[in-house]
C-alpha cells in the first residue's frame, strides 16, 4: 500500500475529467483499507469506486481511497438459488458475464452498466424493469465513524428509485466492501416487457429467451443508444426521471398531450427526463468539447478534455430551461464533486 501524490483522476472516472487527487491510494487488501481509514495524517477521505456516477468539478484535496477489493464467494447454495458475496472492486458488467457463464439469473437486464459492485447499492442501479434491490440480500461496509464493520440488510439500505440510505442519511459515512446477492439457478424470473427488449428479441428471432439471450438484447440496445465511456466520456443518465403527482401530470399533459409516462402508483407518475430535454431542444447540442448525447438526451458527454465545471453549467442550464418550459424540476442522478 503506497500513498501517491498529485495523481490525475482522468482514468478513474468514466466522464474522463482530468482533475488531480492531492493524495491517492489504491486498496487491494481489506486490512490495508482498515489501516488507511485510521490514518490520522489524512483526516478526510474520498472513497472512489468505479467512478461511473460522478462529475468531478475540482481537484480533490482529501485522500482518495480507491477501492480495488476483488473476489467472488459462494455463501449459500441449493438446487434453485445461490447467494454470492462479491467484493466491491469487481467490475459490474464482468460480474454479470460471470453469472451468465454460470447460468445464474436475476441481473441479466443490468448488463453493460458501467461501474463496480461496491457502488451499485448506493444508487440502486436499475435498467429495463430490474433494480439491484430485486436480488440484493445485504452488504458489508466499514462505518467511517467507528472504523468497524457493519452488515446492512436490504431494509437497512432503504432502496428507492436510484436511491438508498447511502445517498441520504448515511451519505459519506460508509465504505461498502462487499455485497451479497441472491440469484436463481433454475426457473429464472425473466423480465422482457420493458422498453425495447421484446422487439430486440424478435429481431433476433428468439421466442423463448434464455438469460444469456436477454443479456445480449440489452447489450445491443444499450450499445445503440448509450455512448461507450471508453470512447466518449459520460456517466450514463445525468438526471433522474422526475416523478410527478397525478395533478401535476394532468396539467402538463394538457399542454403536451404526447408526453410519455409510466404510472408508479395511484398518485405518482414517472416521466422520461430524456423526453423533456429533447423537447427543450438540447438533444445532440454540442458546446466546444462537451454536450448532450445525440441518441439519448439524458446523457451528458465529454468529447475530449472538457472541464467538469463547464458540464455542470450545462446541467444547470438544462434544469432551468426544463423548469421554465414544463414547470418540472429534474434532479441530477450523478454525484457532483
Residues in contact with ligand EPU by CB under 6 A are 127-128, 195, 225-226, 236-237, 240-241, 260, 272, 274-275, 278, 283, 296-298, 333
Q: Are 65 and 47 in contact (CB under 8 A)?
A: yes
All 3 cell numbers of residue 12? 478513474
132-194-122 Cα angle (round to 5)? 20
For ligand EPU, the closer CB: 60 or 292: 292
Question: Residue 50, by phi and psi: left (phi above 0), alpha (psi -120 to 50) or beta?
Answer: alpha
Write down the catalytic residue from 140, 162, 178, 182.
Answer: 162
For ligand EPU, the closer CB: 21 or 120: 120
Return the SS3 of 182.
strand
In the bound complex, which residue of the shown chain has the CB atom lying closest to ligand EPU?
236
For ligand EPU, the closer CB: 127 or 183: 127
Rounded CA separation 37/31 (Å) = 10
Rounded CA separation 91/118 (Å) = 9
The distance of closest approach from Cβ of residue 264 to ligand EPU in the complex, given in angstroms and rounded to an integer, is 12
Q: Is 237 a catalytic residue?
A: yes
Return the SS3 of 229.
coil
Q: What are phi and psi of 23, to 5 degrees?
A: -135, 140
The distance of closest approach from Cβ of residue 229 to ligand EPU in the complex, given in angstroms and rounded to an integer, is 11
Half-sphere exposure of 14 (CA within 13 A, CB side): 25
Q: Is 278 a catalytic residue?
A: no
For ligand EPU, the closer CB: 99 or 292: 292
Rounded CA separation 10/51 (Å) = 10
For ligand EPU, the closer CB: 113 or 183: 113
The distance of closest approach from Cβ of residue 118 to ligand EPU in the complex, given in angstroms and rounded to an integer, is 17
Q: Are 142 and 175 in contact (CB under 8 A)?
A: yes
Q: Are 46 and 64 in contact (CB under 8 A)?
A: yes
The distance of closest approach from Cβ of residue 81 to ligand EPU in the complex, given in angstroms and rounded to an integer, is 25
The distance of closest approach from Cβ of residue 28 to ligand EPU in the complex, given in angstroms and rounded to an integer, is 27
Q: Is 145 a catalytic residue?
A: no
Which residues belong to the active site?
162, 237, 333
Amino acid at each position: 500500500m503506497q500513498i501517491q501524490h498529485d495523481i490525475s483522476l482522468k482514468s478513474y472516472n468514466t466522464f474522463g475529467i482530468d482533475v488531480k487527487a492531492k493524495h491517492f491510494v489504491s486498496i487491494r487488501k481489506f486490512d490495508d483499507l482498515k489501516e488507511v481509514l485510521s490514518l490520522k495524517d489524512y483526516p478526510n477521505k474520498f472513497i472512489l469506486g468505479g467512478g461511473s456516477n460522478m462529475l468531478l468539478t475540482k481537484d480533490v484535496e482529501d485522500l482518495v481511497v480507491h477501492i480495488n477489493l476483488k473476489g467472488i464467494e459462494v455463501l449459500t447454495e441449493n438446487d434453485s438459488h445461490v447467494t454470492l458475496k462479491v467484493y466491491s472492486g469487481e467490475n459490474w458488467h464482468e460480474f454479470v458475464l460471470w453469472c451468465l457463464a454460470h447460468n445464474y439469473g436475476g441481473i441479466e437486464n443490468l448488463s453493460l452498466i458501467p461501474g463496480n459492485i461496491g457502488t451499485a447499492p448506493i444508487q440502486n442501479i436499475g435498467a429495463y424493469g430490474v433494480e439491484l434491490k430485486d436480488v440484493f440480500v445485504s452488504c458489508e461496509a466499514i462505518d467511517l465513524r467507528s472504523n468497524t464493520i457493519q452488515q446492512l440488510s436490504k431494509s437497512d439500505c432503504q432502496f428507492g428509485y436510484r436511491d438508498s440510505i447511502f445517498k441520504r442519511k448515511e451519505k459519506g459515512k460508509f465504505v461498502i466492501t462487499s455485497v451479497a446477492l441472491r440469484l436463481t439457478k433454475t426457473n429464472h424470473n425473466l423480465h422482457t416487457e420493458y422498453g425495447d427488449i421484446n422487439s430486440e428479441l424478435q429481431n433476433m428471432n428468439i421466442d423463448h429467451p434464455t438469460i444469456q439471450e436477454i443479456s445480449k438484447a440489452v447489450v445491443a440496445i444499450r450499445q445503440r443508444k448509450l455512448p461507450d465511456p471508453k470512447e466518449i466520456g459520460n456517466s450514463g443518465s445525468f438526471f433522474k426521471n422526475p416523478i410527478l403527482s397525478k395533478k401535476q401530470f394532468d396539467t402538463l399533459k394538457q399542454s403536451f398531450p404526447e408526453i410519455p409516462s409510466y404510472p408508479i402508483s395511484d398518485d405518482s407518475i414517472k416521466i422520461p427526463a430524456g423526453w423533456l430535454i429533447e423537447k427543450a431542444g438540447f438533444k445532440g447540442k454540442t458546446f466546444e468539447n462537451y454536450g448532450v448525447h445525440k441518441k439519448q438526451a439524458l446523457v451528458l458527454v465529454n468529447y475530449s478534455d472538457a472541464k467538469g465545471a463547464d458540464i455542470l453549467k450545462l446541467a444547470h442550464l438544462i434544469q432551468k430551461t426544463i423548469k421554465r418550459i414544463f414547470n418540472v424540476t429534474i434532479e441530477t442522478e450523478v454525484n457532483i464533486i
